[in-house]
Structure 1
Amino acid sequence: MTWPALRTILDGAVVTAALAAVSILLSLPLGLLLALLRWRRIPMVAGVLAAFVSVVRATPFVTLVLFVFFILPSAGLELEPVPAAILALTLNTAAFSSEIWRSALQTFPRDQLEAATAFGLSERATFTRIVFPQIWRANLGPLVSEVTILLKCTPAVAVIGVVEITRAAGRVGAETYEPLPPFLVATLIYTALIATLVRGQRVVERRIARRFGWVRP
């Protein structure tokens, strides 16, 4: 495979990595916010958010991408392909990650919350000092798994014209009439990206184990 062809795929890899990075930075905090609002059981709000999460989780990702790009403009929100792709990835991952956060919040020991209240800690201080430090450590694995799923979803944004790894490899294969080499390269890049995420998870887990004296099974 020639250097220009490889460069095309590498450019697609940069787009994929950028889409994933921005979507991760947006979706995980958004998922936590959704989980907190549902955890507090605010009338009406919790029900609306539960319905939103259920709809997004039940919607195939490619359908969500098409909805964001083609349907939202009729409501006055017209986005270019890349922002539309980021919005779709963010909404999808936020919906799934919110269930991970919510599960952790629901199973959080009630006695710790009662003890924090007895010591006079505010709700904000209780969450930032007691709840959050524990739930993110306990859910590191599931959250990283959700992030890898986000990365695997990125090829779907090609339907709105975003040239990521898979679309770039497809273009190279169509031009050279040799689809195998570019798709092998694309597979290796995806593997490297996901391996980097998993490696990062392992490093963080080891640091947690050294600091708090426990090891994940």
Structure 2
Amino acid sequence: MLSFCIFFEAGSYAQGNDSPEPSEMDKRSLESRIAAPEPEFFVSGTSSLWQGFYFGVGFRKVRLKVADDLIISDSDGEANGIGVNLGYFWDEQVIEYERQISIVEVSKTIFHDGKSGQRLEIIQNNFWYSLYPKITRYFYLHYGAGVQFTKTRFAAIGSNKSFQEEIALGVETGASYFVTSNFLLYYRFSVGQQIPFLSATNSSPFLKQSQLHTFYLNYFFPL
């Protein structure tokens, strides 16, 4: 009788302390109820996604003031050349290189430095620094300043030596919209004013002022 009581008490003690291990299904159910932290770039007010490089091509509307204060305007963006750009975007600011090539024809003959013609070829290498205030997560305004290195010649003259090199100071403004994480629509209005004492030659200014409306299609590479 004593042996039976000892056996019964030992069995009851073992049963009370033998708690079953949670099954694999219970573990998965518990894990699924634990919310994963939200990715940083989905948090309102952050701009960590929009840091990286961008490049693309642009189509323009051109207004130029050349020798003799002649105004040239050509709205056929593809026929009169094209623009390309490469920039780096971080913390709502940008540094950018832009190259604009314009070939424009005018009805009036232009005279400059002993040469004449009705067709001009203009190459602009622009370096910009711009601020990008954020309006929404995907939409930004921008404004900035830069330096423009211009080369101008009559297009009928084939030698590179016929280019007149000049330096201009520029300002720009516009807007940008991130359609996707890799596709950026980019509009810029820029004005470049030639500075006589910064000219690389002693000739009178050839391209006195340029005004360009450029619409860029950019690929954005986030970092």
Name the TM-score, length of structure 2 as normaliser: 0.22
> Higher strand share goes to which structure?
2
TM-score scaled by length of structure 1: 0.23
